[in-house]
């Protein structure tokens, strides 16, 4: 799995000036007063200024992880009505063959006894679980290739590939969108593999250094 922050539009100063325009004012560089303003916006849930900055990522992850993340493609808000806040374009199995790229499970976990959708602890026989996964990948890949040999279109042949097939996509969204994503997908009850991607996304934003004050205000830095 891999995450790359490929474009940024805006920074903490953009957030501040989006808020200050209400009073016909503008800051040229950040100061302590601006930091207090960002904290005030977060505390009182005046979230519109955080929609202005935009982030663009290139993400490679298994399809089942992409599905969990893309629940936030629409409605990525803090308790407000859903609205479109991001755009996603993915590699397409209709055009290219990417059937040889998979993310295998590192550690097989047991079903949680307290959550229908969660997991806890490790399965005893890890090697047996890994063997099953390896055989499924090999079988599905061969079946895919056999269908192509028979003249079946890629758009139909891909339907037999498993969910741990890797996909690559570009995801562009508002800063607010990703702040909400972090708030939801960094929680302990999130599937570990999805939480890993969310952590990588956050690490990229932190490394950029453009939103240090905002991340701190949201408790993310």
The one catalytic residue among 51, 109, 185, 195: 185
The secondary structure of residue 31, as a DSSP letter, is -
58 is catalytic: no
Are residues 69 and 88 in contact, defined by beta-carbon separation less than 8 angstroms?
A: no
Are residues 166 and 103 in contact, defined by beta-carbon separation less than 8 angstroms?
A: yes
Are residues 30 and 16 in contact, defined by beta-carbon separation less than 8 angstroms?
A: yes
CA 22 to CA 13: how far, in whole Å?
15
Compute the Cα dihedral for 29, 33, 36, 38 and give only its sign: negative
Spatial neighbors of 27 by CB under 8 A, at least 6 apart, are: 13, 16, 17, 20, 34
Which residues participate in catalysis according to the annotation? 185
């Amino acid at each position: 799995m891999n995450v790359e922050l490929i474009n940024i539009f805006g920074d903490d100063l953009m957030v501040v000036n989006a808020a200050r325009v209400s009073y016909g004012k503008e800051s040229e560089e950040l100061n302590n007063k601006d930091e207090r303003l960002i904290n005030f916006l977060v505390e009182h849930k005046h979230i519109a200024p955080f929609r202005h900055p935009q982030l663009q990522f290139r993400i490679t992850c298994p399809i089942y992880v992409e599905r969990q993340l893309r629940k936030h493609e629409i409605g990525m808000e803090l308790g407000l009505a859903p609205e479109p806040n991001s755009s996603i374009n993915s590699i397409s199995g209709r055009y290219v063959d990417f059937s040889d790229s998979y993310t295998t499970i590192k550690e097989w976990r047991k079903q949680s006894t307290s959550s229908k959708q969660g997991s806890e602890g490790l399965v005893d026989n890890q090697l047996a679980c890994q063997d099953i996964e390896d055989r499924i990948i090999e079988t599905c890949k061969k079946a895919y290739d056999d269908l192509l040999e028979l003249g079946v279109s890629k758009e139909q042949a891909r339907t037999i590939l498993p969910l741990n097939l890797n996909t690559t996509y570009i995801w562009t969204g508002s800063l607010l969108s990703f702040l909400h994503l972090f708030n939801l997908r960094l929680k302990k009850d999130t599937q570990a593999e999805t939480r890993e991607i969310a952590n990588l996304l956050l690490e990229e934003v932190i490394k950029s250094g453009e939103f240090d004050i905002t991340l701190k205000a949201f408790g993310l830095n």
